[in-house]
Amino acid sequence: MSELLEDFEQKRELIRKIVEEHIEKRDEAAGESHRFAEERDILNNKVREMREEVKKKIAEKNDLIEQVQKLRAEKEEHYKELSELRKEYRKVREETNVEGVDRRNLRVKEKELQRLETRQQTTQLDKKEEAKVVSEIRKLSNEIKQMKNFREKELESNDSIRDLSQKINGERKSGETLKKDIDEISKKITSISEDINKSLQELDETRKKADDFHEQFVKFSQESTKEHEAFIQAKNDLRDLEKVISSLRTKARASKKKEKEGELQKKATTLFDKFKNGEQLTTEDLLILQKAGFL
C-alpha cells in the first residue's frame, strides 16, 4: 500500500503542476483577450467618429451642390436675358438711322472694297494697275472706317442703345459673377469629395483593423475558456486523487494500528502466561497487560 500511496502522491504533484499551468495559460489568454478588446473598442469608437465626420462632409457637399444648381439656374436666366438684349441691341442698331451716314451707300462701298481685294488677290495685274487698285482699296477702307466711326459715335449717344448697352453689361457682369461663384463652389465640392474619398478609405482601413482585433479577441477568449475548462477538469482530478490519497492514508493508519494492537496482544499473552506461572512482572509489563485488557 505504501508504494501505491507514493505513486498517487507523485501523480498528485504532477496534476498540481498541470493545474498551475492551466491557470497561467488561462490568465495569459484572458489578458490578451482583454487587451485586444480594448484596442478593438478604441478603433470602433474611432470608426463611429469618422463615420459621423463623413456624414457631415456629405451633407455639406450636398448643400453646396444644391447651391450650385440654384446658381446655374440663375446664371442661365441671366444669359437668356443677355441673349435677348443682344438681339434687341443689334436690331435697334440696324434700324437706327444716323444723319450723315447712308447705310445703303456704306454697304455698296463695303462690297466694292471686297471686290477690289478679291481682284488684287486673284488677278495678275501690272504695276500701274496694281497701284491703282491698292490706292482705291486704301481710299475705300478709310471712307468706310470714317463712316463706321461716325455712325458708332452717333449710336453711342442714342438713349435706347445706351440703355440697352448698360443692361447688356449688367447682365454680363451678373452672369460672370455667378459663373465665378459657381467655379469657386465647384472647387470646394471637388475638395470635399476628395476628403470624403480619403476619409472613407481611412475608415475602411480602421474598420478592417478593428475586425482583426476582434478576431484576436475571439481567439484568445476561446483559448482562455478552453484553458479554464482544462483547469476545472484538472482541479476535479486533483480533488478526486486527494480523496483517494486520504482514503489510502486512513487505511494505512488503520492497518498500522491493527498491526500494533496484534503485537500488543501477542506480547500481553506472553506476559500473562508468565504472570500465571508466578513470574515477577515489572510495572511496564503490568501496564501492557492492562492496555491489552488482561487486567
Instruction: Give pLDDT tens digits for 221-280.
Output: 999 999 999 999 999 988 888 888 777 777 766 666 666 666 657 776 776 667 677 677
Determine the pLDDT at residue 262. Answer: 63
**Cell matching residue 149:** 466711326
> For 123-158, where are the alpha helices, taking DSSP H only?
127-156
At 18 the pLDDT is 92
Name the pLDDT band for 34 (thresholds 50, 70, 90): very high
Question: Which of 114, 116, 100, 213 shows the shortest CA–CA distance to 150?
Answer: 100
Q: What is the pTM assigned to this prediction?
A: 0.58
Q: Is 101 helix (H, G, I), strand (E, B) or coil?
A: strand
**pLDDT for 72 beyond 80:** yes
DSSP 8-state secondary structure symbol assigned to residue 98: B
